[in-house]
Amino acid sequence: MIKAKNITLVCNWKMNPKTREKAEKLFSQTKSVFAGTRGLSVIVCPPIAFLPLLKSNSKVVTIGAQNHSAYEEGAHTGEYSAQMIRSIGVTSVILGHSEIRAAGDTNELVNEKIKLAFKGGLMPILCIGEKKRDPEGFYLHELKEQITVALSGIPRAKLSTILFAYEPVWAIGQAATRQTTPEECLESIIFIKKIIADLYDPKVIEGMRFLYGGSVDEKNAELFIKFGGVSGLLIGRACLDPKKLSKIVSSLK
Ligand code: PGA
């Protein structure tokens, strides 16, 4: 029996796998990895095309989306709203992922989407992270701006229902220049908490949840949880391989 202490894992499938059959197989393998675990909550975020097909009746595994529109309805070809995905059983949504920011999402749009996620009844998983970590620390301004704009107009009471994922862009995906160290993660999480404490008040931090994402694998997952100041992980590539995912889960016991 695997017992972890209130750890949240977000599995971001990105635009994978290629077919419905493969998606159903991966989903059932993913559910098996978590069957019988305790203290873990898992949010699987498949591509939009597979969202209506993948149902989970487990309490451990829920379904999230990777994005939604900054509009509620209307003439927005190719888009889908928070309310639409909520109506098919999706309960959370990744917003502000660096790959979507790179395709045009500004901090202001991320803010709009967070508001619509709440309105539609979804839990936002807000991704923030610097493109580069420069020795002068200018990247801290980038983080501050992302957080300040994303949270503009978001009431204090909502903060505990947002999952904050620190995802340094330079550590994400195949283009990653290197892995983040748990110390770097901890530094950033402390900084993020300070920004939020300054925007609201220090007490608000107590009820909040912070995750790390970027090249998480079976070797470093445990280190981020132990030393990185986070209580969860956002996993990309490694969650497409059930063996790797299973090793990550075992390491978190
Ligand atoms: P990765 O992706 O684990 O493949 O680096 C993480 C992410 O993009 O969220």
Identify whether 167 is a catalytic site residue.
yes
The Cα 183–Cα 179 span in angstroms is 11
The Cα 247–Cα 86 span in angstroms is 31
Q: Which residues of the chain, if any, have pLDDT below 50?
A: 1
Q: Are 221 and 251 in contact (CB under 8 A)?
A: yes
Q: State residue 57's pLDDT score.
A: 84
Which residue among 97, 101, 217, 237 has the greatest number of ligand 1 atoms within 8 angstroms of its CB, and so is best to mutate?
237
pLDDT, mean over the chain: 96
Considering only the C-alpha atoms of the chain, give the largest distance between any 2 of them, rounded to a whole number of Å: 50
Ligand 1 pocket by Cβ (under 6 Å): 12, 167, 172-173, 213-216, 234-237
Give residue 46 CA to ligand 1 midpoint distance, Å: 13
Q: State residue 253's pLDDT score.
A: 78
Condensed to tens digits (0 to 9), the pLDDT of residues 38-73 reads 899 999 999 999 999 998 888 899 999 999 999 999
The Cα 110–Cα 249 span in angstroms is 31
Minimum-distance ligand 1 atom for the alpha carbon of 94: 9
What is the pTM assigned to this prediction?
Answer: 0.96
Q: Report which protein residue has its CA nearest ligand 1's atom 6.
A: 236
Q: Are 120 and 90 in contact (CB under 8 A)?
A: no
Single out the residue of 126, 99, 103, 161 nearest to residue 10, CA to CA: 126
Single out the residue of 169, 163, 172, 204 nearest to residue 42, CA to CA: 163
Q: Which residues touch 195 (CB under 8 Å, ≥6 apart)?
A: 143, 144, 147, 148
